[in-house]
Amino acid sequence: MRQFHGLQLKDWLSLCNAACGVGAIFAAAQSYAIAAILVCVAAVFDYFDGKVARGGAEGENEFGKHLDSLCDSVSFVVAPTIMLLYVPVIGWIALATAAAALLYAFAGVVRLARYNLQDEKRIYAGLPVPIAAVLLVVAMPFAKEFAFVPAIALGVLMASHLRIRKL
């Protein structure tokens, strides 16, 4: 696989994922729709970086695995958490939303750390963070002020030991 400044194609795809996540963070305050689209585009980049890593001549490596997880944490943990905090709520719902955001963030980073240590490559242990993030950003406009509910549910699923077979 062709390298550019020491980075391989799969690494650049991971960085494109992170760029979308950073864009989603910046967009969250101004346009929920743009932020949500960027999270979904990040998921597409994440899908392709995995395909390239598994199918490329250089294969997967430790650097790429950790780079991918760091990029995933921006796009699928930090960005949705910030988007959740922009939900206009007051009173006890604001406290529930803040707690749900913290739970979602903790669960996401724990899920990513566990994945990096996982030996079994044909299954996911816990809901993958890209899937959780896309589900959350799609659900939030429908849930409105109760967006904390899907955030809690998805956080619990990410932190769980639910076994999902890879396609």
H/E stretch holding 124 = strand 123-125
Q: With 50 as the cut, is the pLDDT of residue 126 above it?
A: yes
Q: Using CA atoms, how far apart are residues 116 and 20, in angstroms rounded to an integer?
A: 22
| C-alpha distances in Å from residue 42, one per residue of 15, 51, 53, 163 | 9, 14, 16, 24
Per-residue confidence (pLDDT) for residue 57, from 0 to 100: 58
- pTM score, two decimals? 0.91
CB 111 within 8 A of CB 119: no
Per-residue confidence (pLDDT) for residue 76, from 0 to 100: 98
Tokens for 110, please give them: 């724990």
Confidence of residue 1 (pLDDT cuts 50, 70, 90): very low
For each of the domains in the chain, give its residue range(s) and CATH number, in order of start.
3-165 (1.20.120.1760)
Q: Using CA atoms, how far apart are residues 49 and 17, in angstroms rounded to an integer?
A: 9
pLDDT digit string, tens, across residues 143-161? 999 999 999 999 999 999 8
Q: With 60 as the cut, is the pLDDT of residue 88 above it?
A: yes
Q: Closest Cα partner for 83 from 128, 112, 127, 42?
A: 42
> 120: how many CB neighbours lie within 10 A of its CB?
9
Q: What proportion of the chain, given as a percentage, has pLDDT over 70?
A: 93
Q: Using CA atoms, how far apart are residues 163 and 167, in angstroms rounded to an integer?
A: 13
Q: With 60 as the cut, is the pLDDT of residue 92 above it?
A: yes
pLDDT digit string, tens, across residues 12-69? 999 999 999 999 999 999 999 999 999 999 999 999 998 887 776 556 688 888 999 9
